[in-house]
Amino acid sequence: MTEHHPETEAVDSLVKALLSLQSEEECRAFLSDLCTIRELSDLSQRFEVAKLLKEGKNYQDISKQTGASTATISRVNRALVYGTGGYRTVLSRSEH
């Protein structure tokens, strides 16, 4: 049996909370309550970067369009290529 660390339990709890949301409005309200304006902006920017990387845009164009640093773009690209598949899952579902 694997021992759960408090951080893991907290993440599990957050995941369950996200899965309980039933509409865009509920999700927007929860994220607005949960995140600072800056945090929400950073998350939104990373997601936009992921979309543009998937479209094949280059780092310079993505930086111009989103204001993201090349370090952020590189981090998102690394997650797209070597990550757990979260970006790929959401991006493939949002295409429809």
Task: Tell me the three state secondary structure of residue 13.
Answer: helix
Q: What percent of the chain has pLDDT over 70?
A: 93
| Model-wide pTM > 0.75 | yes
Give dist(CA 54, CA 91) in Å, integer. Answer: 8
Residues (pLDDT < 70) of the chain are 1-6, 96
Q: What local confidence, expressed as pLDDT, does residue 6 receive?
A: 66
